[in-house]
Amino acid sequence: MPYVLDSQHSLDVAIIGGGITGAVLAIGLLSRGFKVTIYERARGFSEVGAGIGFTPNAEWAMKVVDPRIHLAFKKVASRNSTDWFSWINSYGDNQKAKTPHDELIYNMYLGDRGFEGCHRAQFLDELAKLIPADCAKFRKNLSTIEDRGEDEKLVIKFQDGATAQADIVIGCDGIRSRVRQLVLGEDNPASYPSYTHKYAFRGLIPMEKAVPVLGEEKTGSRFMHLGDGAHALTFPVADGKLLNVVAFVHDPNEWPDQNRMTGSCTKQDAVNAFKNFAPATRGIIDLLPEQLDKWAIFDTCDNPAPTYVKGRLCLAGDAAHASSPHHGAGAGMGIEDVAALTTLLELAQSEMQNEKHSKIDLIRHAFAGYDRIRLKRSHWLVETSRYVGELYEWQHGRDPAKIRREIDWRARKIWSYNIDEMDRQAKEEFMRSLWAKSEIST
């Protein structure tokens, strides 16, 4: 049951963006007694892309934020038929080997249920059921935010001329975040993402068509198909009824339009990119729709944000640290952000009842703790995600032993992250900084 606090001792939070990170944050804050409003530019809750998977650290973070979030994920998650994630050499020249099949590079055990995936829209639909209708405002495109002073609420201005007020604004508005521009400055290169020189084809293939091509084993679990200049990820979603396919291609050129992340193409473009791959991989590419979009992969690796906060503004998820999807951990990192934010803001709200510190000071302490806890790890994720995308396409060599070592330690650093320890550190950081300020004041 949500906490009940009087308006004097509760914080009013505006969340910009109604994707997975924004929805999870809203649920976590609402269950802790905050007044929360989501402002989303689309006509409803929306997510870009098709399939998504969550690693063990992300699933644990869901439970810390609100156990109902994890239950919502499990409701739509597809359990893998095996407990392994496999990386295979799917390039054509391995067909010269004595055994003309994809060459296994590495198998990683994923636990009893494996690394489960779901359709993004299905997960977001389940999350939306946990958010009261009056807590979400749609077709609200942020223009600017005005800070009128410490004793006043922030004024949020939208492009349609409407305004709103809040004590705190948290930007969960994705890779092209307007809040990031307001936090870092519109002329700051760190306010904008950069092209990684990779684009992707995405598709959902009915399982009855996928199984004859890849077989039961490869359609029942997660497989990364590695090769020269391209790679593909396949895994089941929609309760095993669909195979999610994401096929990446190296692009030496610049992306033609920095403001548009998709470009039209045909299936033949994807077929050409994978023409030198093994027959099974080529076969699954052949099952993609005739008309495709190619999705430019942008990230914040070239110009990472030096901070995620400015005053009472804060960034979370892709708005803070958009990564390429090669680790499959970007959304999970956003949920880690939410776990830290909900812990720190709950402490700030609790301390407001003591009336020893001002609301503004408590918000600043919470956000400072968030910055200290989240910057290093999330920056590393952006860097390692770009690196492994290059690794999968042999841009750092094609030695299987090296590829295996790099995959192992990087994946384990993400998956084995201790969310409970992060939660403990967040609380400790907040109370220590608050105590230090009290000592200085006296």
Report d(CA 203, CA 201) in Å as an integer.
7
CB-facing half-sphere around the CA of 375: CA atoms within 13 A: 13
163 burial (CB, 10 Å; 0-12 / 13-18 / 19+) is: exposed
Taking CA 202 as the corner, what is the angle to CA 199 and CA 204, rounded to the nearest 5 degrees?
Answer: 170
Q: What is the dihedral of CA 103, 325, 301, 311, to 10 degrees?
A: -150
**Alpha-carbon distances of 3 from 26, 365, 375, rounded to whole Å:** 14, 22, 30
Greatest distance between any 2 Cα atoms in the chain: 78
Q: Looking at 120, 178, 202, 410, which residue is catalytic?
A: 202
In angstroms, the CA 401 to CA 118 distance is 31
| 3 state DSSP class of 185 | coil
Angle, nearest 10°, between helix axes 207-219 and 279-286? 150
Structure tokens at 45: 């809750």
- Alpha-carbon span 38 to 18, nearest angstrom: 6
| C-beta neighbour count of 435 within 10 angstroms | 10
Active site residue 202: yes
| Spatial separation of the C-alpha atoms in residues 193 and 88, rounded to whole Å | 31
Question: How many C-beta neighbours within 10 Å does residue 286 have?
Answer: 13
Q: What residues are labeled active site?
A: 202
